[in-house]
């Protein structure tokens, strides 16, 4: 009997045969109106703005976002729920992942990549993954290492936080199990899907303070716990952020050193899961721009040297001018480019990506981001059929095409045909 995730993947595989869909692509079959696209959200029980998968899908559908990519950390069982609901609402699903790795030589050199606070720390994504229902032995090993490292860190951090809160007069009684149970209750999910993140922990401690300390006493008690005057005593999200900033960051009292896999191990996991390695670009999402990412021409050389063939932006971090500069330069250099929102805080942003301060993403950039989503959709479809996708199992670009432009164009046409077939079969668009 197939699991929910396996059934979901089989349903997408069943959209049509490979030859049939390539023929549709050559005939120019694609959605008549370009859908709105969001290539990167996090679904609960990852820390997320959404209370449930249903809420995320219904918001996307209600706001006219027709393609949604999920990029969860650590566990992918929720993707089965996502596909079922996406099909009901006519939203095309893209599967991805996000993880954190370390590049040792850049740690030693003090080079900041796409994390402005930690030299050598790199966020890396995989797009169009398809082998998450039944992982290979190597994928199981790698994801097991990541999960164990992170679970040990969260357990130690919770213990340190509880010690600090108790010592400073606000004992919460929280331990790892209770924080996990909070996430399970909030999102009505089984234990095996929950992998704690720092934001989960902050939320649990903030809620404990709200339960145990009367409103009129919170300012004084929080100030003692944090070591500085709280600026958000009436705002739960601000207090969560203060707990993280004042107690959990590097050099703070509850900080626990992170243990990362290497970039090479993270890259291998993406390929083992059938995905396209993708570089999440911060650009002017931090000031100054991280040295690794500036100028954009040097960034392109660096990521291509690591056989990364796709880039992604979270435009809400960027000005339209810098976003346009980076996206167009990357696309011109033969990288497929995508864009999303993350929704990895409690802020319920619009589902279609916008630039900094809610400014619209320029139309020509939207066209490139749609193309990138189609490339991922085409790759995902071929991998479900056991075919070589945009990249092969070693990360090499598909050699059946003579140039980057030919390759991106062909996969974008294939993905457009796959998405249109999906819409037709689900009769929602």
Give percent of the chain with pLDDT exceeding 70. 99
Confidence band for 74, pLDDT divided at 50, 70 and 90: confident
Asked if 114 contacts 292 with a C-beta cutoff of 8 angstroms, the reply is: yes
Asked if 55 contacts 86 with a C-beta cutoff of 8 angstroms, the reply is: no
pLDDT at 428 over 80: no
Q: Is the same domain home to 150 and 123?
A: no
Q: Is the same domain home to 129 and 278?
A: yes
Residue 118 within any structural domain of the chain: yes
pLDDT at 348 over 90: yes
Q: Is the same domain home to 112 and 190?
A: no
pTM of the model: 0.94
Q: Is the same domain home to 130 and 182?
A: no
Residues spanned by the domain of 82: 35-135+273-377+390-412+422-426
Confidence band for 232, pLDDT divided at 50, 70 and 90: confident
Residue 15 within any structural domain of the chain: no
Q: pLDDT for 285-324, tens place per residue? A: 999 999 999 999 999 999 999 999 999 999 999 999 999 9
Confidence band for 260, pLDDT divided at 50, 70 and 90: very high
Which secondary-structure segment (H or E) carries 96? strand 92-102
Residue 312 within any structural domain of the chain: yes
pLDDT at 258 over 90: no
Residue 352 within any structural domain of the chain: yes
Confidence band for 5, pLDDT divided at 50, 70 and 90: confident
Q: Is the same domain home to 287 and 406?
A: yes
Asked if 220 contacts 180 with a C-beta cutoff of 8 angstroms, the reply is: no
Average confidence (pLDDT) over 69-94? 94
Q: Is the same domain home to 130 and 154?
A: no
Cβ atoms within 10 Å, residue 349: 17
Give the separation between CA 352 and CA 60, rounded to whole angstroms.
Answer: 8
Listed in sequence order, the residues at least 6 apart from 356 whose beta carbon sits closer than 8 Å to its beta carbon are: 315, 316, 317, 318, 319, 320
Confidence band for 215, pLDDT divided at 50, 70 and 90: confident
Asked if 95 contacts 131 with a C-beta cutoff of 8 angstroms, the reply is: no
Residue 111 within any structural domain of the chain: yes
Confidence band for 231, pLDDT divided at 50, 70 and 90: confident
Average confidence (pLDDT) over 139-156? 95
CATH number of the domain encompassing residue 285 = 3.20.20.140
Q: Is the same domain home to 359 and 298?
A: yes
Q: Is the same domain home to 288 and 401?
A: yes
Reply yes or no: is the peptide bond before residue 295 cis, omega within 30 of 0: yes
Q: Which two tokens stand for residue 354?
A: 């916008």
Q: Is the same domain home to 108 and 147?
A: no
φ and ψ at residue 83, rounded to 5 degrees: -65, -40
How many distinct structural domains can be found in the chain? 2
Q: Is the same domain home to 171 and 238?
A: yes
Among 200, 215, 248, which residue terminates a domain?
A: 248
Q: pLDDT for 159-191, tens place per residue? A: 999 999 999 999 999 999 999 999 999 999 999
């Amino acid at each position: 009997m197939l699991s929910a995730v396996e059934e979901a993947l089989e349903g997408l595989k069943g959209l049509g045969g490979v030859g049939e869909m390539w023929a549709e692509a050559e005939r120019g079959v694609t959605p008549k109106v370009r859908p709105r696209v969001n290539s990167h959200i996090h679904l609960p029980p990852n820390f997320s703005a959404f209370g449930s998968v249903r809420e995320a899908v219904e918001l996307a559908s209600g706001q006219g976002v027709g393609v949604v990519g999920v990029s969860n950390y650590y566990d992918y069982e929720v993707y089965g729920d996502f596909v079922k609901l996406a099909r009901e609402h006519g939203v095309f699903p893209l599967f991805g992942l996000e993880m954190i790795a370390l590049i040792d030589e850049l740690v030693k050199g003090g080079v900041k990549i796409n994390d402005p606070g930690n030299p050598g720390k790199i966020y890396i994504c995989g797009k169009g993954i398809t082998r998450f229902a039944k992982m290979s032995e190597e994928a199981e090993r790698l994801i097991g290492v990541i999960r164990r490292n992170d679970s040990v860190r969260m357990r130690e951090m919770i213990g340190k936080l509880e010690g600090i809160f108790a010592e400073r007069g606000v004992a919460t009684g929280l331990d790892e199990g209770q924080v996990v149970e909070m996430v399970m209750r909030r999102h009505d999910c089984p234990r095996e899907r929950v992998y704690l993140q720092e934001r989960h922990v902050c939320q649990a401690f903030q809620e404990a303070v709200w339960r145990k300390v009367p409103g009129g006493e919170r300012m004084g008690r929080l100030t003692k716990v944090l070591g500085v005057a709280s600026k958000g005593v009436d705002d739960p999200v601000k207090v969560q952020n203060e707990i993280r900033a004042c107690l959990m960051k590097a050099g703070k009292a509850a900080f626990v050193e992170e243990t990362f896999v290497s970039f090479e191990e993270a890259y291998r996991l993406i390929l083992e899961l059938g995905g396209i390695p993708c570089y999440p670009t911060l650009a002017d999402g931090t000031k100054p721009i991280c040295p690794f990412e500036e100028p954009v021409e040097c960034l392109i050389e660096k990521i291509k040297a690591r056989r990364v063939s796709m880039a992604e932006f979270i435009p809400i971090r960027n000005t339209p001018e810098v976003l346009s500069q980076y996206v167009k330069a990357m696309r011109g250099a033969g990288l497929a480019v995508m864009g999303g929102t993350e929704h990895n805080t409690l802020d319920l942003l619009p589902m279609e990506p916008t630039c900094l301060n809610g400014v619209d993403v320029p139309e020509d950039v939207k066209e490139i981001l749609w193309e990138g989503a189609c490339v991922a959709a085409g790759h995902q479809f071929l991998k479900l059929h056991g075919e070589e996708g945009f990249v092969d199992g070693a990360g090499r670009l598909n050699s059946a095409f003579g140039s980057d432009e030919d390759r991106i164009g062909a996969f974008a046409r294939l993905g457009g045909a796959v998405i249109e077939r999906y819409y037709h079969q689900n009769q929602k668009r």
